[in-house]
Every structure is written in C-alpha cells, then in structure tokens.
Amino acid sequence: MIANVVRNCFPVAAKVVADKADEINKLNVFPVPDGDTGTNMSLTLGTVVSEIEALPKDASMADISKAITHGSLMGARGNSGVITSQILRGVAEGLVNAKGAQATTADIAAALRNGVKVAFKAVRKPVEGTILTVLKDVSAKADQMEKSKATPQETLDAIVVEAYESVARTPDLLPVLKENGVVDSGAFGLATFIEAFVNAYEGKAGEVSDFKTTVDSSDAKAQVANVVDIEINDDWEGSQYRYCTEFLFHADSPDFDEDANIKYLSSMGDCELLVGSNPDYKIHVHTNRPDRVLRHMLHRGQIYNVFVHNMDLEAQERTESIREDKQAAKSTEPRKHMGFVAVAAGSGQADILKSLGVDVVVFGGQTMNPSTADILGAIEQCNADNVIVLPDNGNIRMASEAAVSAVEGVNAAVVPTKSVLQAFAAMFVADPDGDLDANVEDMNDAIAEVRDGEVTTAVRDSQAADGTPIHDGDVMGIEGGAIEVVGNDVQKVTVDLINRMQEEEEGDTLTILAGEDLDDDAFQNLLDAIEEAQPDLEIDSHRGEQPLYPVVFSIE
C-alpha cells in the first residue's frame, strides 16, 4: 500500500536529514548566511513524523496526507522549513489520487507536479538555484521517465540522481553560492531527503553516504563535492532586515484577506510567506520590526508559537563554526611550500584563478575593495610557508602590502598586479616548488608583458585622454588607466580599443573576459567582430562575470 510506504519511509528519511543538519547548516548562505537551514528542515520533518506516528495502523493515504500537511505547517521553521512544508503538502496530496495499491511511474510524476504547483504558489518571488529548482528539476525528470515508460524503481533511482545533479548546478544559477564556495543548503537538504526516502523504500535502511563521496548509484554526489569548498563569510554586512520572524496564526474571520496580508508582510520586509488555509496559517518574514508585524496580525486573529531570530548573530555563529572546522582541518594537513592568494571580481575570474593554481580567492574589485584583514585571513588560509599575493587592482595593493607586513610565521610578498589578466600571466610562470624571491621576480617580468584594456560605462560627465567630452551613460574604452575611446556601443568601443592598441604595438594573443552584464549572444557577436578586425590575433575567451565592466581584456 502507498500509505504504508510513506508511513515507513518518511521517518527514516527525516532522521537522515536530522543527522546531517549541521552539514546542511554550514552550506546556508542564501537568503542570509544564518546557518539554520538544516535545523529548520529537520524540525519541520520531525513534527510530521510525530503526526504520522500518532495515526492508527490502518490509516489511509488521505489520512497520512492530512497529517503531513498539518504537521509540516505547524512545525515549519524558517524560510526553508515553510517551503519544505509546501513541497510535502503538494506531493502528499498528489499521492492521494493514486488508484492502485502501489505507486506507478505516472503516480510519482503526478505527485511531484502537484508539489511544484503548491510550492511555487506559496513563494511570491521564486529564485533559481534553490530548493525550488531541485523540486522542479526532479519533477521534470519524473515526467521524462513517465513518457519513456520507465518502471517506478527506475524512476525513483533517476530522480535521486537528478536531485544531486540539480544541487550541483545551483552555484551557476545563484552567484552568492559560487562566491561562498557552496551549493544551496535547502536544495541539498531536499536531495538528502529524497535519497534517504528512496533508499528506505529499496531496503537500504535510509542511509546516505557522506555527500563528498561518490555513491554506487550515481556520480551525481561527486559533482556536488566538486562544487563545495565552504568559505568563511566574514564580509557579510547583514541583510537589510535583521529579524527572522515566524509564527502560527488563527484567523478570526472567514473573510480573512490572504492577498492583502501578504502584501502587508512584503511592505515590512522580505522572504515573506503566508501558507495554509483559513483559519490556520504559518507566517514567515524577515523584518526590522517584528513588533509591528505581530501587532498587525493580532488585530486579525490569534498568534502563537512565535519565534524571532537575530540573523546577524546567527551569521556570526555560522562563520565561527566554519572557521573552527577549517582550523581543525588545517592542523592535520601538511603545510605547503608555496601558496597563492588573488583577488577576483567575478565567479568566472575566480574559477580561472583556481585552475591556474591560486589557493585562496578573495572577492573584490573596483567598488568593493577587500580589507587588510580579508587578505591577511586568506594568506593564513593557504597553510603555506611562503605566500604570494596578487591584488589585481591598484586600489587593493596597499591593503595587500599591509597584510603581508602583518602576517606572522609566513614569508609573504606582493606581486603588484593591476588586473586579473595580469594575475593569469603571473600564475602561468609561477613555480609552486620554487624560491619566493625567484617567483616574485619571474611573475613581475610576466605582468610587465601584459597590456590591459577594459570597457565600462561612464557614471558622470568627464573627458577622454584626448579631450573628447564624456557624458553620463557613454561607453568608455580604457587602456592603462586612461580613457582612450568613447562611444555608445560596447562592441564598437571594444573593437576600436583593440585596434588602437594593436596599432601601437602588435600582439599575438588576446585574452578576453565577458562581464555579468554581457550575455552569451552579445559576447559571441563581439568575438566575431574582433576576429574580423584582427584576423591574425589568437583569441582566448572566457566568462569572467565581473560587475560594471562588460569587457576586460589583455594583449600579449
């Protein structure tokens, strides 16, 4: 019976999530790094287990669905818990419609589709790269399996694989995840629950291996492991809203206006959720005035089970916990001879730097210069006897030099790169086994051969190096810190600047990075235009994803 499967497997899967709660917490950086996703999901699932276990042994799927809906609503904690409650509600209600004693592939697909419908209805502003994305991807995979006439067993195995593959993709959809070296915590929590539930159904006791290892059923977990290297988030300045406020609400009137009240919640903060049905609701919002939210709702009904969390303090606790974990891990790792620290302004830049051998990437740039403390921490994180710092921006050089002077127990030096492209050139000649001074000399020689260009938009009136007037909104081509080309089109300004630089001194190779505001089609059109204008120039193109500068490039 479907009811027996759910009744037997749900508690096992919930326990696995509870056992992994701390692991999930450390991944939590979105919407704020308060490190409570695993805890909240576990508490939500735990309340459902209590409700299911209180049912008589002959309870129907309809009875179990009601228990799941009520238990998850009453026990939902935090943004992740409330969304999880709606996923569970939708899937459980979908299974009620199954006709046979055993769920078919069509039943599984229909239940997941209903889960998507209910969960997305509850969230006013769905964000890609979160738990909702995994749910949507898993549902799409079930639909695909139904069309291919797969067995229920094949379908369940396929959705486990899809869940982890979807988790591995979350950093590409949500930049804050990539910047912090994590996958989405809620997404990983949902994948963990799905795998444990399926394992319990298949008689594997609901156990799941550590997510940083490959499992026999799929290499999907290994993809997750390749993404995850949790960063310490010392530079989080706090959300616009400080207090995570959640409570249960019982409406006094059958005419309670859900739309009007969700609009009120949105006016008081963000991450607003109002789920349930009259008269019982779960309310969640991030706000600076929980007192006003509670007062407003008190005029419309009764409130109870109120939780107000200070997300600033929770974020500090998460950071400290991660720092302790990293320090413990470092104490058991052999110390490296040479380490490298570099600054990146975009996720694509960071990926390239790491592929070239940079140990620690600090995020920063023209309008977000990292502090001396940020760079000092990165030097220490390298766990190396010798460390070279690449500031990649003239405004970051002094902070880098101050960090090098302040570090203890490490021989450190700065190679004064003014751009990330100079850092690429420097890392090409770096010798991880070589002498510090020799490396610095070779890397300085390498960056001297790099000529940089960048394209951005003016934010105020000015003038170019030749006196050409520049107006707010004009596109500027900059070489060596001087504005050399002005226009109104990114592609034309870029090509004109490259032509100008080639006339001054002909180079052989162009390395070019697309910024976050330049889409793939526009980037390809630009590359085609450059190739037409400079057919003898070898082009090495990448996504840099840097802000403010749709194009940065170097010629060597």
Apex 315 CA angle, 196 and 226, nearest 5 = 45
Burial label, 538 (beta-carbon count in 10 A; 0-12, 13-18, 19+): exposed
Question: CA–CA separation, 103 vs 99, rounded Å?
Answer: 8
* 3-state secondary structure at position 451: strand
Instruction: Examine the pLDDT at 491 and tell me if it is beyond 50.
Output: yes
Is 522 a residue whose pLDDT tops 70?
Answer: yes
Choose the most confident range, by mean pLDDT, from 37-41, 55-59, 71-75, 219-223. 55-59
**What are the CB-based long-range contacts (under 8 Å, 24+) for 519-523?**
522/490, 522/491
Domain boundaries, the chain: 2-227, 243-313, 334-448, 451-555
Sign for the CA dihedral angle at 59, 60, 62, 68 comes to: positive
pLDDT greater at residue 206 or residue 280: 280
* Lowest-pLDDT range of 203-212, 300-309, 475-484: 203-212
Six-digit token pair at 2? 């479907």
Residue 218: predicted pLDDT: 47
User: By the 8 A CB rule, do 391 and 343 touch?
Assistant: yes
What residues contact 500, with CB distance under 8 A and at least 6 apart?
A: 477, 479, 484, 485
Strand-pairing partners, residue 451, are: 555
CATH 3.40.50.510 fits 334-448, yes or no: yes
Per residue, what are the HEC states of 506-530? Answer: CCCEEEEEECCCCCHHHHHHHHHHH
Distance CA 373, CA 357 (A): 22
| Full 3-state SS string of 87-132 | HHHHHHHHHHCCCCCCCCHHHHHHHHHHHHHHHHHHCCCCCCCCHH
- Of the pLDDT bands very low, low, confident and very high (cuts 50, 70, 90), residue 217 is very low
Q: Are 537 and 530 in contact (CB under 8 A)?
A: yes
Spatial distance between the Cα atoms of 100 and 120, rounded to a whole number of angstroms: 28
Could you say which DSSP state residue 335 is in?
P
* 243-313 maps to CATH 3.90.550: no
**Under a CB-based contact definition with an 8 Å cutoff, are residues 180 and 234 in contact?**
no
Average pLDDT of the segment spanning 20-35 = 67
pLDDT at 524 over 80: yes
Per-residue CA distances from 153 to 197, 199, 328 (Å): 13, 11, 42
Task: For residue 217, give the 3-state DSSP assignment.
Answer: coil
pLDDT of residue 533 exceeding 60, the answer is yes
Q: In which order are the strands placed within the sheet that holds 411-414?
A: 360-363, 336-344, 384-390, 411-414
Give pLDDT, residue 26.
73
- pLDDT band at residue 64 using 50, 70 and 90 as cut-offs: very high
Nearest residue to 321 via CA among 28, 12, 18, 14 = 28
- Tell whether the model's pLDDT for residue 230 goes beyond 60: no
CA distance from start to end of the chain = 69
Q: What is the pLDDT of residue 239?
A: 56
Strands 411-414 and 243-251: unpaired
pLDDT value, residue 144: 94
The CATH code of domain 451-555 reads: 3.30.1180
Give the confidence band of 28 by pLDDT, cuts at 50, 70, 90.
Answer: low
% of the chain residues with pLDDT over 90: 51
Report d(CA 200, CA 207) in Å as an integer.
Answer: 8
Whether this model's pTM surpasses 0.85: no
| Confidence check: pLDDT of 34 > 80 | no
pLDDT surpasses 50 at 206:
no
Which CATH architecture group holds 2-227?
Alpha Horseshoe (1.25)
* Residue 216 confidence (pLDDT): 40
| CA torsion through residues 154, 131, 177, 490, sign | positive
> Are the CB atoms for 191 and 19 separated by under 8 Å?
no
- Asked which of 61-75, 413-427, 453-467 is least confident by mean pLDDT, the reply is 453-467
pLDDT in tens, 108-128: 999 999 999 999 988 877 788
Q: Is 128 left (phi over 0), alpha (psi -120 to 50) or beta?
A: beta
Q: Are strands 475-479 and 469-470 parallel, antiparallel or unpaired?
A: unpaired
Residue 316 has pLDDT above 70, yes or no: no
Q: Following CA atoms 381, 382, 386, 388 in sequence, which dihedral angle do they give, to the nearest 10 degrees?
A: -100
Residue 212 reports pLDDT greater than 70: no
* Bond prior to 31 in cis (omega within 30° of 0): yes
* 174-188, 358-372, 470-484: which is most confident: 470-484
- Kindly state the greatest CA–CA separation across the chain: 86
47 residue type, one letter: T
Residues 189, 199: Cα–Cα separation, whole Å: 15
Contacts of 506-509 with C-beta under 8 Å, sequence gap 24+, read 507/451, 507/537, 507/555, 507/556, 508/537, 508/538, 508/556, 509/537, 509/538, 509/539, 509/540, 509/555, 509/556
User: Which pLDDT belongs to residue 318?
Assistant: 58
* Residue/partner pairs of 443-447 with CB below 8 Å, 24 or more apart: 443/388, 443/415, 444/415, 444/416, 447/415, 447/416, 447/417, 447/418, 447/422
The pLDDT of residue 271:
80
pLDDT tens per residue, range 402-436: 999 999 999 999 999 999 999 999 999 999 999 99
pLDDT over 60 at 29, yes or no: no
pLDDT value at position 322? 56
Closest by CA to 511, choosing from 543, 480, 482, 484, is 543
Q: What is the mean pLDDT of the chain?
A: 86
Mean pLDDT, residues 370-387 taken together: 92
Closest CA to 484 of 507, 456, 519, 512: 456
Q: How far apart are CA 149 and CA 138, in angstroms?
A: 17
Going 321 to 23 to 72 to 126, the CA torsion angle's sign is positive
Count of beta carbons in the 10 Å neighbourhood of residue 490: 22
Mean pLDDT is highest, among 22-31, 196-205, 309-318, 342-351, for 342-351
CB 17 within 8 A of CB 192: yes
Confidence bin at 317 (pLDDT 50/70/90): low
Mapped onto helix, strand or coil, the DSSP state of residue 271 is strand
What are the angstrom distances between the C-alpha of 283 and each of 40, 80, 84, 294, 421? 15, 13, 14, 10, 48
Average pLDDT over residues 458-471: 80
